[in-house]
Structure 1
Amino acid sequence: MSENETALPETTSPGRAPQQRRVVIVDDHAMFRSGVRHDIGPFVTIVAEAEDVPSAVDAITRTLPDVVLLDVHLPGGGGAEVIKQVHATHPDQRFLALSVSDAAEDVIGVIRAGARGYVTKSISAPELVEAVGRVAEGDAVFSPRLAGFVLDAFSGAIDLASIDEDLDRLSPREREVLRLIARGYAYKEVAKELFISIKTVETHVSSVLRKLQLSNRHQLTRWATDRKLV
């Protein structure tokens, strides 16, 4: 067991139904993992938790759960990297992305990697339990708004290659700044929202424009809008 992984007992408490779905929770925020464990623990069997890519791969390949609840943004390479590494040896392992992000590139990226579904962290506990059960049975599960991204991707309305290639150049913080600027936030508002200085916002915007080969804020907003990032 790695030092970043928390193993949990597989015994069930009184009142637990037999044949519960075995679940691994992967998220880099301990408080969020605790909340999920509290909310759905009576209805599933949580066999392990992990907080980054290496500990997640170790936990999943060791316990082989029915479903992995997987955050998109993780230290060590992100949720897509977890799926890639696990599927190299266990191609049938099922993943349900559970993320605060509803950005098109995050949804499409993790689905392309092999996740069977994607729901946001605003989902209720009963809905999450149902989603886990459906994914375990082989169904694809998406929050209603996110399903549109996937349909657009398959229809060709979103240029997947362009999204991956361009956004891979940006750091997570640059992507956050990009989305806020594209939504019409002033630099001061971005700084307040992300708890950074205005100077840092200016630096990030300059870096984004340079990496995407754009000239101004108007072009940046159009670029993000065309890719449904706002």
Structure 2
Amino acid sequence: MKSSLTIMIIDDSILFSEGLEQLLMYNSLVKNVISCHNYEQAAKNLENSIVDIILLDLNFETNEYDGFSIAKLIRERYPKIKIIILTQHAKVDYYETLIEDYNLDGYVDKQLSAKNVFDAIQEVFKGNKYVDKNITKMLLLGKWLKLSKRENEVIELISKGITQKETALELYISPKTVESHLKNLCERFNVKNSVELINTYTNYKKSNRENYEKTTAPFQQRKIE
């Protein structure tokens, strides 16, 4: 496929940016790479260049801005530019802000291989959203962590082979309430029935990420004039 993309890297780690720039130039889709180590450089280059995709870090040493404020501003001023978050601080709550609220295009964990970055670029170039496998696992885990006490009690009993009627008796609730909880959980985890829900829950419990702590809120957004 003919090289056609101009990609901008916004990351204050010069060593990381230079290494990523060299890797990107080996990608057949990439025509040009612009490396920026702060917001000021990025803003100037965006005024003078046509950029297709931005690879943006979240953490910057300065107190004047962070990746959230940069992403929001770029999305407002340049809505057609695709933005992929590339960070080593990937968290579930960040996903909700960046992908759902800001409508960004990708979310990639820096700890994964360069192939994941290339995959993200290719998918975003096609018009799709891209979330890497590590973050996808974290999102699923985050959903389980956000269950109410009653939802946890219901799925725990059902997963042990206890019937809905027996679960209702055990928890002193009606069978319809149990059924309602299961229906809501199936919708939340995008599964067709209780069997798939139980399988998902069982896999979650077997996961080596059971001790994952609830994530904190995103960095406080700082205003950029």
CA distance in 1, matches of 2:75, 2:143: 22
Aligned to 1:25: 9
Structure with greater Cα Rg? 2
After superposition, the CA RMSD in angstroms is: 3.0
Sort the Cα spacing of 1:152 and 1:127 in 2 relative to 1 into closer, same or farther, 3 A: closer
Q: What code does the residue aligned with 1:18 have?
A: K
Q: Provide the secondary structure at the position in 2 that maps to 1:225.
A: coil
Match of 1:225 among 210, 213, 218: 213
Match of 1:98 among 66, 75, 86: 86
Structure 1 segment 110-149 matched on structure 2, within 5 A = 110-111=98-99, 112-149=101-138
Q: What code does the residue aligned with 2:124 have?
A: V
Structure 1 segment 56-205 matched on structure 2, within 5 A = 56-74=42-60, 75=62, 76-111=64-99, 112-149=101-138, 157=146
Paired-residue identity, % = 18
* 2:91/2:215 contact within 8 Å kept: no
CA distance in 2, matches of 1:57, 1:153: 35
* 2:10/2:56 contact within 8 Å kept: yes
TM-score with structure 1 setting the length: 0.55
CA distance in 1, matches of 2:3, 2:142: 36
TM-score with structure 2 setting the length: 0.56
Q: Provide the secondary structure at the position in 2 that maps to 1:77.
A: coil
Match of 2:34 among 45, 48, 59: 48
Q: List structure 1 segments (4+ residues) > 6 angstroms apart after TM superposition.
A: 151-156
**Which protein, 1 or 2, shows the higher relative CO under an 8 Å CA cutoff with sep ≥ 6?**
2
CA distance in 1, matches of 2:112, 2:5: 18
Aligned to 1:174: none
CA distance in 1, matches of 2:143, 2:48: 34
CA distance in 2, matches of 1:226, 1:123: 22
Equivalent residue pairs, number: 148
CA distance in 2, matches of 1:62, 1:42: 24
CA-to-aligned-CA distance 1:124-155 (integer Å, 9 cap, x gap): 22332221121122111111231255568899
* 1:25/1:46 contact within 8 Å kept: no
Q: Which runs of 5+ in 1 are unaligned?
A: 1-16, 159-223
